[in-house]
Structure 1
Amino acid sequence: MGFAQPLLLVALLAVPVLLGAYVWQLRRRRRVAVRYSSIALVRAAAGPVRSWRRHVPVGLVLASLALLGLAAARPQVRADVPVSSSTVVIALDVSGSMCATDVQPNRLAAAQQAVRGFVQAQDEQTKVGLVLFSGFSQLAVAPTTDRDDLVAALDGVTTGRGTTIGSAILTSIDAIAELDPGVQRSDPVDAAGAAGAGALSPTPAPSSTRPATDPGAPGGGPGGPASSPGGLAPEIVVLLTDGANTRGVTPQQAAQQAAERGVRVYPIGFGTKNPTQLVCSRDQLGDASPRFGRGDTSQRYTDAGGRNYLVVDEPALRVVAQTTQAQYFSATDADQLTSVLRDLPRHVTVQQQDVDLSAWFALAAAALLVGGLALSLRWSTLS
């Protein structure tokens, strides 16, 4: 157990001081007591007396003061506490690499099925939003309880070039900010080449013109009015991707903004480390999508440094999870992905937080004080 205001523990010094004063007063009374010629006559007149009774109320009052001193210092313990998830924003990677067939029938089809099941399994009070990202990120469905809109959007996704993980996180933050006044919209990031490369949404994103967050403003940080205990917002982001960020704001930059707003981002790395050929269905390709051919993908999707963009960038995703006080998950096939999404609420709704116990200490102090006064009144009337 720790204390948020340990300096206030100095108030506990009042307890031994008052105890010393009480003992001194008892001794003083003995010295100035009236002397009778026969102590036996006094005892007979007073009846049987239990000397310890008169000390009990004083002891209870002193114990009450000690508990009040501890309460003033705000005692805290680290414990698992429930954190509600009233809104879940799913950021789904729809880049061309999601056509890899190392997961049957391909990664995107398996992800669509798993996310569809996750959406339909949520209760009626939980709002779910959908962000799609490839070469740019966009809010496909604002957080809603209408499952039909979400399923329709999932069924109609098409693939594109590029993977903008960082942009997807910022778009998810903005979607949450529309619902929660305690969460600020994302700040602009210095990525001059990102817009030209198509890393941002084709529609003007509000985050690109919004001023920087003021930590002193309402909702300007993790301690905003709508944030949950411990600085965590009740809304979360589930980021599902199979590759690495290829352009725009980095995942680490975006994760820092999410952490400043108390938004947790749970990344899910999907796919194996040995991707095979890319085969998209006609619906997944769309009219504007390039037609990925069959054959070896090891060269076409490898950068100059040997980085394969078809393989999950686990180090970056782990940093995102750690930065936002969340957890990283890995899924190499459809069954594992379904299992991760099914078990996700158990990881999301319980967090390690500092629980303030000052109210319980104050309540115990009040109970001792009332008990001491009640005993004092009762025993004084019986004597």
Structure 2
Amino acid sequence: MSWLFPDFIAAGRLWMLLVVAAMAAAYVGSLTWRRTAQVRFTQVDLLDRVAPKRPRWRRHVIASVQLLGLALAVVAIARPVERTTERTRSEGRILLLFDVSLSMESTDVAPNRLEAAKEAARDFIDEVDDDVEVGLISFAGVVRVEVDPTLDRSRINRRIEGLELDISTAIGDALFVASDLLVSRAEEDPDRDEELAPGAIVLLTDGATTVGRETADGTATAVEAGIPVFTIAFGTEGGTIVDPVSGDVVPVPVAPAELEVVAEATGGQAFEAQSGDQLADAYDQVRDSLGETLGEEIEITKELTWRWAMAAFVALVTAYALSLWWLRGMV
């Protein structure tokens, strides 16, 4: 129904609607003048014999349809258009890699790194454009695909809420799994543009790789697939946790250096966040930067002139046919 309320390429031409309005006013004025100047018959029967088939209301219908046709023609002359936006095909896919290692329970970020990260991640996902698929991968010592890329935001948010901590940190493995998943999903589309990245990775972590593939190996996989990785180093230098086995206080400082290398090598960007607010800001910057990877939204302009011109043609033809039928008595 948006074509009923379009934009216009030549909106200045709509001034001609004033001419149509003036014609309508002149028609109404002529009726008033005719009514006052009309010859009054004293005998109704005589009037019926002189003009047995007066057009009465029919002429008003014809005039109205004619004026409608002219108004529609003016709108057509103004070149109405329908404007929509869409993202280039098969570019919209993001994988969020979420660190759930034990260091994420540090309280250097209130209430702790994990809960602050969950809240910021949910806000980020809610702000991503609706036509962009988002997937979720959690990693500690083991990498888990929590949610395959999907447009169902509520499903991802539920999985984020249910994330639990575990031991170790496997950043290299997480990058490998994420890259493989994005490539596989892209290959499912036979019409995809192979020059475009199969998606983007947003990596949130507070540490460095402790088990599994080296981070450099996972980075190489992403580079080979042409996938940019946006990294967020989350936490402070003073972060600590209590060892669940020994009960000792263990320092868990954030380690941004390795993540900067990942971002630079893959063509992404590296960010650091030492608070929940800074993490939210980092996600905002990531979302703004993703446009270069996922494709900018493009405006589609569809001209609707023919529809309005056709409507005007139909109205004027209808008025002409009615005039032949009602006013001239022709079939």
Question: Shorter chain as normaliser: what TM range?
Answer: 0.5 to 0.7
Read off the aligned partner of 2:170 and give its amino acid letter.
T
Name the CA distance, whole Å, in 1 between partners of 2:259 and 2:279: 16
Give the aligned partner of residue 326 of structure 1.
268
Aligned residue runs from structure 1 range 55-94, under 5 A = 86-94=92-100
CA distance in 1, matches of 2:285, 2:179: 23
C-alpha change, 1:119 and 1:326, in structure 2 (3 Å) is same
Distance change (3 Å), C-alpha of 1:177 and 1:291? same
Answering whether residue 306 of structure 2 is matched by residue 342 of structure 1, we say no
Determine whether 1:102 maps to 2:108.
yes
Amino acid of the residue matched to residue 139 of structure 1? V
Structure 2 CA distance for aligned equivalents of residues 113 and 179 of structure 1: 27
Q: Secondary structure at the match of 1:350?
A: helix
Which of these residues, 258, 270, 283, is aligned with residue 222 of structure 2?
Answer: 258
State the secondary structure of the residue aligned to 1:297. strand
CA contact (8 A) 2:172 2:215 kept: yes
Write out per-residue CA displacement over residues 316-371 of structure 1, whole angstroms, 9 at most, x where no aligned residue: 111111110111110011000011112212222237xxxxxxxxxxxxxxxxxxxx
Distance 1:270 1:292 in 2: 25
Q: Which residue of 1 aligns with 2:205?
A: 241
Query: Distance in 2 between the 1:317 and 1:271 partners?
Result: 13
Contact 1:167–1:254 (Cα < 8 Å) also in 2: yes
Separation in 1, partners of 2:149, 2:230: 17
Which residue does 2:235 correspond to in 1? 271
Inter-CA distance 174–234: structure 2 relative to 1 (3 Å threshold): closer
Question: CA–CA distance in 1 between the matches of 2:153 and 2:245?
Answer: 32
Q: Distance in 1 between matches of 2:283 and 2:128?
A: 11
- Partner Cα separation in structure 2 for residue 85 and residue 181 of structure 1: 12
What is the Cα deviation at residue 253 of structure 1?
Answer: 1.1
Q: Separation in 2 of the partners of 1:242 and 1:87?
A: 24
How many aligned residue pairs are there? 206
Amino acid at match of 2:249: D
Amino acid at match of 1:266: F
RMSD: 2.6
Q: TM-score, normalised by structure 1?
A: 0.50
Question: C-alpha displacement at 1:171, in angstroms?
Answer: 1.1
Q: Could you tell me how far 1:83 is from its partner in structure 2? A: 11
Query: What amino acid is aligned across from residue 265 of structure 1 in structure 2?
Result: V
Give the deviation of 1:152 after TM superposition: 0.9
Q: Distance in 2 between matches of 1:277 and 1:328?
A: 25
SS in 1 for 2:204: strand
Which residue among 153, 157, 167 is the counterpart of 2:159?
153
CA distance in 1, matches of 2:188, 2:176: 16
State the 1:225 CA deviation: 4.6
2:171 corresponds to which letter in structure 1? Answer: I
Secondary structure (helix, strand or coil) at the match of 2:110 reads: coil
Counterpart-to-counterpart distance in 2, 1:181 and 1:276:
43
Cα gap change, 1:111/1:292 in structure 2, threshold over 3 Å: closer, same or farther?
farther
Alignment correspondent of 1:170: 176
Unaligned runs of 5+ in 1: 1-81, 184-217, 219-223, 279-289, 299-309, 352-383
Runs of 4+ in 1 over 6 A off after TM superposition: none
Q: Which has the higher strand share?
A: 2
CA distance 1:152–1:234, shift in 2 (3 Å): same
Contact 2:128 2:287 in 1 (8 A): no
Identify the structure with the greater helix proportion: 2
Query: C-alpha offsets along residues 124-179 of structure 1, whole Å, 9 cap, x if unaligned?
Result: 21100000000111111000000111011001111100000000111111221231
> What is the 5 A alignment of 1:211-222?
none
